[in-house]
Structure 1
Amino acid sequence: MRAARIWGALTAAAIATAGHGSEYPDVQRQSLYVPVRDGTKLAVNLYLPAVDGKRVESKMPVIFVFTPYRARFRDKDGAVQEVALNDRMALRSLIRAGYVVAVADIRGKGASFGSRRGFQDRTEAQDGHDLVEWLARQSFSSGKVGMIGCSYLGGTTFHTATTAPPSLKAVFVGASDLDKYAFVRRGGITAQFNTRPDEPLSDDLASIPVDEDRDGAQLGKAVAQHAGNTPMAALWYGMPYRDSVSRYTGNAFWEEVGVYRYLDAIRKAGIATYFWSNWQDEPTAQSILSAANLSGSKFLAGPGSHCLPPPGFDFTGEVVRYFDHYLKGADNGIEKAPRATYWVEGLDGKGGYARSARLPGEGATAQRWYFSDGRSGTARSVNDGTMSAAKGRTGQDRFTVRYDLPGADYFAFWAQPMDDKGLSYTSTPLGKPMKLIGYPVVHLRVRADKPDANIFVYLDQVGADGKAEVVAFGRLALSHRKAATAPYRTMGQPWHSGLKADVAPLPVGQAADLAIDLTPVSRIVPTGARLRVTIAGADPRQRNLKDIQQTPPPQISVERGGSSFVDLPVADGQ
């Protein structure tokens, strides 16, 4: 299919709308405890549209948000913070547009009672189901409910949808995962996400008590129960295999929290799905796969980081239009719009949004570039290798894993260049622009002097001025190298089972072929820029790096001359 039939560049002016509905400028708030099926009382905050301070009595659809981060609380300065009155997820605009917004604390967090058994487990999903149906029965409700959230809140939205509440009609899921094992322990390696320490109970005590709890006594009792929460980092670190049985939950917990196992429930219920995640955010890889596995899903990606509203795009308008169609029956054409809207870095020389009937990566052609030493001899420094369409001389490059890494931000959602910490292979300057849309995959034939080691791979764009940025990255432990057939659509990417029976050490000195999928890219690499692949053995974003580093560090050899290469996802016939 020709590019003109797939692509359409959108300027900020073309994609944005002028303003949003402000029919209901005021808000009336109330909060209460709502018991779910096992009797646990969850704190629910309701925000009802109002005019001149008076609640509008007509029945309206409900937008539900389910959070572990406290629906309503006092910050360190004593100011009251409320999720529903922030427009980062368009919630304040949805109230103005005639929606009741409900924000509830999950069990074991905020002002809710109970303790959390596991991170986004089926108990939490069923809690979401019960609250959706409770909201649908209330006098203010039209009986139709939508959900929205990003990051953990995107996960509660996605998991609630898998329980198929009859009143849930549409979900807008941001930066969440389809396969939690493949995300949290990608390639068998637990890295940055989901491994931070749990918040202290004092954070939950800063929650605002529900209206009926005037003296905060119920809040105190609720938070006391939170001491029984399962520690999240320990839960993830304690399950090295996809089929590991957790000592905290007593089951193969990765399977319990794998959304892909419940997709048929969403399909049969006919729940509309919209997935959103930005390009400089690791969950984007999973968000695209989520859309790929639910036909009819829409997808949005901006240029920014974790859960930031895409700049230059009318995000609030898109959210309101989406729910207007599926919850109010508005004939606004959103269901007929192209399936995917996403930022392409370098489009028209600067960057812009494109709309396509295809998800990013669908229809891309793999262009193979081999790793070479780039010289007639075999000796080389760690960062002077080359890559090109030619296979080059057969040989091996060796590096020693370095643990003397620069410090990473506590929430380092994106990787930084690592070209001085391992082997690097760099192309010559491009003679013409190259459009990359989709998932790069790096193939390596490696040996190591230890039975297991971690491999991190980074794809960099190096400008004509020498400035480099990481545009994609991936990771794989040698012991997790066995490929398998995934139980869901992977859009052609390699998939590693992570099952205990499939995980095995690599005999010292024996060669193994690795296939490592990288995070997706969406950019036009300009003329004169170079592409670079770096291979390292550690990443500064590993929070447990000091605990897992080996002494002496592993030495890893990479075979070149046809056995190691990168497949680049070139779009539009490039």
Structure 2
Amino acid sequence: MGAALPAVAGALYAGLPVAAQPVTVQAQTAPAADYPDFVRSSLYVPVSDGTRLAVNIYRPARGTAAETARLPVIFAFTPYRARVRDAEGKVTEVALGDRLALRSLIRAGYVVAVADIRGKGASFGTRIGFQSRREAMDGHDLIEWLARQDFATGKVGMIGCSYLGGTTFQTATTAPPSLKAVFVGASDLDKYSFVRRGGISAQFNTRPDEPLSDDLASVPVDVDADGALLRQAVAQHEKNTPMAGLWYGMPYRDSISAYTGNAFWEEVGVYNHLNAIRKSGMATYFWSNWQDEPTAQSILSAANLAGSKFLAGPGGHCNPPPGFDFTGEVRRYFDHYLKGADNGINREPRATYWRERLPGGTVSAPGGFTGGYVRSNVLPGAGARATPWYLGGGHSGTARSVNDGMLLAAPAKGAGRDTFTVRYDLPASDYFAFWIKPMDDKGLSYTTAPLTRPMTLAGYPVARLRVSVDKPDANVFAYLDEVAPDGTAEVVSFGRLALSHRKLAAAPYATMGLPFHSGRKGDTLAMKPGVPADIAFDLTPVSRVVPVGYRLRLTITGADPRQRNLKEIEIKPAPVITLSRGAASRVDLPVVR
């Protein structure tokens, strides 16, 4: 049915991350397409509250004849329009691309269904909130409807990335009886900790909403030849909850939204519904890439669902991992759980993830990545040893206004402090800047000496700092850079924390030992101007080998150019932040032997 092991052009290692062992992997040839063609249909399907949602169905075919035997169904649930026509009249269809392996799944003998969420595309209804329980129940209803159709075996899988990953994960929490396996890309376990990481909203989900004309470009369903129903549906979208207003309006985890009338962060926190997934017995697979902030949440999602598989590649948001047979992996996963194929995927190590500059790795990926894949029965970071590197003074050894500090393997004797004024005159960021360029000239930086032996990092760095500020509150951003011998630098990890959110709390889910801040209003603490406080926060996870001669640099700033509301939240006069050096401040690096 499916291929054996995924084809990997490069090194593939197996075992625990503390003792990865090389194995020989024979690249497999993907089987020929069983169904080269498809037959598409579309219709409105009413969900439990009567709202009609636009559903597009793609049945495998040979020529113009659809397969008459019952087949498993793969479902994707999108806000970005399942079928849309551009200004030149060209129609783009989610199901006919392979970014999520959907076209390959049709060829492999799966019915693929793509629906527009309520309040978007050609669907009727109004979106109240963002990935709300109502939206999750819509997914539940559509899955059960699909499972009952005469083309279906009754077994359904679901796949998506980014927002579509969220609809997949949220739908899974409703435990539809027919949903047997999900493949979740770049989504969150804890939406508050993702969108307002450390109490600070950055770029995610804060963009302006799309105009209604975008939804009017949707292709009407089959019975709506003149588009009259489409126009009626889109008219209802006028009352959709604005995403940016929703997120900005809830600064605390227990904030009551003016739009939804409830503590909406709790409603959309998947961690509150994990037991439903566990009891259902459905299979779960989580995927993200290292240069993408949701990866931190994807690892935690897998950690909280025993037996979950995990995949991380190099590169950015929702890009299929290069040098890895992504479509083959997706197919093998669904072949096993929906078709019963004994292809071994359930016996393979649970985690497969990219390691930059893995010894023996030969994969070259877009963006200059070179390395290979590690396979392990534990998640990245689980086998790492927290190794402290301490903030040390610069060449002058006194308080400075220049960023020439040192990052030391042992704390220097004596105390010291470094002070900087928060800078808001930051360069304009790309609109969708999922990653960031070095910020070493915008705050204070501390750099190691050139490494005399390679250092392998796998997991979450954690910043543990002693800070004071001349205001009741300020934001702190930390960036871990890798600096090449020629001075070229790149950010490999970053994190953020509002000082008022510094209080640590017990987490409602497993955090793999990472510091957790509740974000609840009652747990916030104002800073006493000039009085130091200890803070701890994790940075985004990393997986790479830092070579001999390279240096690592920790930069601390008070603002980030990706904050879309930076002008609105600017504090005047700008806060003055002081860092204590020596044993009081360090970054713990996840070092793997």
5 Å-filtered alignment, 1:118-517, equals 118-348=129-359, 350-375=370-395, 377-392=397-412, 393-517=414-538
Q: Which residue of 1 aligns with 2:20?
A: 7
2:15–2:21 contact (8 Å) kept in structure 1: no
In the TM superposition, what whole-angstrom CA distance separates every residue of 1:41-61 from its partner, at most 9, and x where no partner exists? 000000000002211100000
Distance, in Å, in 1 between the alignment partners of 2:22 and 2:174 is: 38
Among 557, 566, 569, which residue is 1:536 paired with?
A: 557
Distance, in Å, in 1 between the alignment partners of 2:309 and 2:397 is: 52
Change (3 A) 1:184 1:332: same
Residue 99 of structure 1 pairs with residue 115 of structure 2: no
Change (3 A) 1:3 1:232: closer
SS at 2:55 equivalent:
strand
Q: Which residue of 1 aligns with 2:367?
A: none
Distance, in Å, in 1 between the alignment partners of 2:517 and 2:29 is: 47
Could you list the runs of 5+ residues in structure 2 that have no partner in the other structure? Answer: 1-13, 361-369
Identity across aligned pairs (percent)? Answer: 72
Distance, in Å, in 2 between the alignment partners of 1:255 and 1:212 is: 39
1:15–1:314 contact (8 Å) kept in structure 2: no
2:139–2:171 contact (8 Å) kept in structure 1: yes
Change (3 A) 1:455 1:43: same
Q: Which amino acid aligns with 2:215?
A: D
Q: Which amino acid aligns with 1:76?
A: A
Deviation at 1:313, TM superposition (A): 0.2
In the TM superposition, what whole-angstrom CA distance separates every residue of 1:305-339 from its partner, at most 9, and x where no partner exists? 00000000000000000000000000000000101
Mean CA deviation greater in 218-227 or 16-25? 16-25
1:8–1:354 contact (8 Å) kept in structure 2: no
Mean CA deviation greater in 506-515 or 322-331? 506-515
Distance, in Å, in 2 between the alignment partners of 1:3 and 1:212 is: 55
Deviation at 1:552, TM superposition (A): 1.1
1:151–1:176 contact (8 Å) kept in structure 2: yes
In the TM superposition, what whole-angstrom CA distance separates every residue of 1:450-508 from its partner, at most 9, and x where no partner exists? 11110000000001111000000000001111110101000010000010101121011
Could you list the runs of 5+ residues in structure 1 that have no partner in the other structure? Answer: none
Q: Which residue of 1 aligns with 2:76?
A: 65
SS at 1:70 equivalent:
coil
Distance, in Å, in 1 between the alignment partners of 2:282 and 2:19 is: 27
Residue 559 of structure 1 pairs with residue 572 of structure 2: no
In the TM superposition, what whole-angstrom CA distance separates every residue of 1:262-306 from its partner, at most 9, and x where no partner exists? 000000000100000000000000000000000000000000100
Change (3 A) 1:288 1:559: same
2:399–2:417 contact (8 Å) kept in structure 1: no
Distance, in Å, in 1 between the alignment partners of 2:193 and 2:560 is: 18
Distance, in Å, in 2 between the alignment partners of 1:20 and 1:459 is: 43
Distance, in Å, in 2 between the alignment partners of 1:177 and 1:3 is: 26
Deviation at 1:510, TM superposition (A): 1.2
Distance, in Å, in 2 between the alignment partners of 1:15 and 1:116 is: 48
Q: Which residue of 1 aligns with 2:7?
A: none
Residue 78 of structure 1 pairs with residue 89 of structure 2: yes
Q: Which amino acid aligns with 1:354?
A: V
Distance, in Å, in 2 between the alignment partners of 1:9 and 1:316 is: 24
Mean CA deviation greater in 70-79 or 469-478? 70-79
Q: Which amino acid aligns with 2:475?
A: N
Q: Which amino acid aligns with 2:70?
A: K
2:75–2:156 contact (8 Å) kept in structure 1: yes
Distance, in Å, in 2 between the alignment partners of 1:337 and 1:209 is: 44
Deviation at 1:194, TM superposition (A): 0.5
Q: Which amino acid aligns with 1:202?
A: S
Deviation at 1:63, TM superposition (A): 0.1
1:10–1:353 contact (8 Å) kept in structure 2: no
2:17–2:378 contact (8 Å) kept in structure 1: no
Change (3 A) 1:16 1:107: farther
Distance, in Å, in 2 between the alignment partners of 1:106 and 1:147 is: 14
Distance, in Å, in 1 between the alignment partners of 2:67 and 2:29 is: 25
SS at 1:124 equivalent:
helix
In the TM superposition, what whole-angstrom CA distance separates every residue of 1:103-139 from its partner, at most 9, and x where no partner exists? 0000000000000001000000000000000000000
CA RMSD in angstroms comes to 1.4
Distance, in Å, in 1 between the alignment partners of 2:494 and 2:165 is: 23
Change (3 A) 1:10 1:187: farther
Deviation at 1:516, TM superposition (A): 1.4
Distance, in Å, in 2 between the alignment partners of 1:3 and 1:261 is: 30
Q: Which amino acid aligns with 1:508?
A: P
Residues matched between the structures, number = 570
In the TM superposition, what whole-angstrom CA distance separates every residue of 1:333-352 from its partner, at most 9, and x where no partner exists? 00001010000001026410
In the TM superposition, what whole-angstrom CA distance separates every residue of 1:345-369 from its partner, at most 9, and x where no partner exists? 0102641011001100001101111
SS at 1:348 equivalent:
coil
Distance, in Å, in 2 between the alignment partners of 1:374 and 1:5 is: 34
Q: Tell me the TM-score normalized by structure 1.
A: 0.98
Distance, in Å, in 1 between the alignment partners of 2:161 and 2:17 is: 33
Q: Which amino acid aligns with 2:431?
A: Y
SS at 2:289 equivalent:
coil
Distance, in Å, in 2 between the alignment partners of 1:286 and 1:3 is: 21
Which portions of structure 1, spanning 4 or more consecutive aligned residues, are displaced by more than 4 angstroms? 1-6, 8-11
Deviation at 1:374, TM superposition (A): 3.7
Change (3 A) 1:569 1:15: farther
Q: Tell me the TM-score normalized by structure 2.
A: 0.95
Distance, in Å, in 1 between the alignment partners of 2:477 and 2:470 is: 17
1:45–1:71 contact (8 Å) kept in structure 2: yes
Change (3 A) 1:4 1:164: closer
